Amino acid sequence: MKRILIIDDDTELCDLLEEYLATEKFEPVSDHGGKTGLEKAKSGDFDLVILDVMLPELNGLEVLKSIRAFSRIPVIMLTAKGDEVDRILGLELGADDYLPKPFSPRELVARIKAVSRRLSPEKEENRGKKSSRIKIDDVFIESNTRTATKAELDLGLTEVEFSILENLMLAAGSVVERQDLALKVLGRRLSYDDRSLDVHMSNLRRKLGQGENDRERIKTIRGIGYLYVRPEN
């Protein structure tokens, strides 16, 4: 991952992030408006978008909704500290992660690298897999192309949703601990008030729908984690 689009009207913050990201071997480009930032995102020239919620003309949530209409590009939202509503709305609209302001550039780079590891075909956890294709009932995923279908129709998953589904299907029939899953798909452990994984899981369940005979596909094992249900023989 190299080219990063920063959409934020705080010019001083953008200058700081550009300088810091450049030292980390990224190629950052800033835009300070919602409409103009969206046009840059549509160009297809970027690998990741850092998107502030509070923007002139078109707010960040509207920009995100428009981005998700045409692209699965990873998006990290910047939200006001303590504004849980914006965080949840951003995740529900398809953001991959969020950072509350103020934040350290080092933390942002950690989030970016976590997304990069998910997208990299060379990541360690993918090595040694016998197959990049998994099918359970009518749900089929292919890791190499990062595509997921149900009854041969594209599920339209975000990168995080795909990673969650991939990890659960690989361990189908066994419980995947919540914190282990968070480390794999978000690149961090969850704090007590971090609902990121819950929102991504809710979105994934909605897109998957119920299985045959209204069978629950993903079960929550309270206090432990999640289990992708194998069909009964």
Each residue's pLDDT tens digit, 32-43 = 999 999 999 999
| 181-204: b (≥16 Cβ within 10 Å) or e | bbebbbbbebeeeeebbebbbebb
Q: Which fold has domain 3-119?
A: Rossmann fold (3.40.50)
pLDDT tier at 116 (50, 70, 90 boundaries)?
A: confident
Taken in order 162, 167, 172, 176, the sign of the CA dihedral is negative
Least confident of 107-121, 146-160, 198-212: 107-121
Of 20-24, 127-131, 190-194, the range with the highest mean pLDDT is 20-24
How far is residue 24 from each of residues 50, 209, 218, measured CA to CA in Å? 16, 41, 38
* DSSP secondary structure of 59-85: -HHHHHHHHHTT----EEEEEETT-HH
What residue ranges of the chain are covered by domains with CATH 1.10.10.10? 124-228
Closest CA to 166 of 110, 126, 209: 126
pLDDT value of position 197: 95
| More confident site: 127 or 91 | 91
Local structure of residue 183 (DSSP, 8 states): H
Amino acid identity of residue 4, one-letter, is I
Residue 139 CA to residue 154 CA, distance in Å, equals 10
> Going by CATH, does the domain composed of 124-228 fall within 3.90.1310.10?
no
Q: Could you give the residue range(s) of every CATH 3.40.50.2300 domain in the chain? A: 3-119
> Does residue 99 surpass a pLDDT of 80?
yes
- Contact between 183 and 125 under an 8 Å Cβ cutoff? The reply is no
Residue count of the chain, please give it. 233
| pTM as predicted | 0.85
Confidence class for position 120, pLDDT limits 50, 70, 90:
low
